[in-house]
Structure 1
């Protein structure tokens, strides 16, 4: 993850950008957070999955905190098997993902079912062609195995590191996997904009592109 963040900064400089902003969700959020820690030529970051943790000794959670704790518990019990597999034995899984299109399809689409704001069916927010296009990016390139290895290489670095001192914008979508309250995240980021979205889930840019783009554009407009 640290190498990816450094590579992005180097790429932007080689492309001629002495100032730029970074945005990310999921692993992109981890890389974007690391870019913010590195500072480099980045002037601000925006994320739709900020990393936060409950305060120590939390004994009387408010409604937002209780909802976040319940979602975390659900994720740990029911939703994190893929992560454990990919962070410990990614190559074993990888053989199946590059051998069987059905395996690759099931591995990806199950997450669209679970992590989108779709009321139980991913085709309520994404078309079948959009779902297949996404899966085909992995299948045609044979990258199911290599993409899984990122968990093995970097998973423990997700929440490791100094706080981000760059201005940080956050778009908080209601069906995000782990939706931390703002004050849980403020030790990790210098948050200058926080938008609570009316709908959307983990794949925010894919599910709700207009909401996503409007918030990202409004945030980075301050730094042009």
Structure 2
């Protein structure tokens, strides 16, 4: 059964919300706090951002190629877009409220498997990279304007046989980010008011 996806304007709103929240959290907490792991085997807030950077950076070229292909094939179209059962399963499993799943190695922040109480990421650099990647995703949405984004597929960079339509991948990114924003807030003990 097909599932109707959000409008591209909502994708943009969600991406900008995630960007604002990452900047707020990074601005409200010290570098040491952003790198502190709440307990052994968990990620720090900075590692959550790094994970989001890795996923976005690996996926963006796949979507750029798929959008080029859609343009070459003349696949014109407008929202609403939809996804099938596999895309629905993916969105439900990667968004906020989904059960944690094992993270493939290519998406794991460097050093995240060690048992140190803190990570050692440069938070300003990690947030700047997040900002750049969010802009890249906003550019992808613009590049896809006027194209039938649910008629062209792109493979996962980690599991190439997992091929979803471009609209599903784009909708999934901010949902995945919102999931990890919740994880970041838990790691920081942040209720939305910073360290005070």
Please report the TM-score for the alignment, with normalisation by the length of structure 2.
0.30
Report the structure number with the largest CA radius of gyration: 1
Higher RCO (CA-CA < 8 Å; seq separation 6+): 2
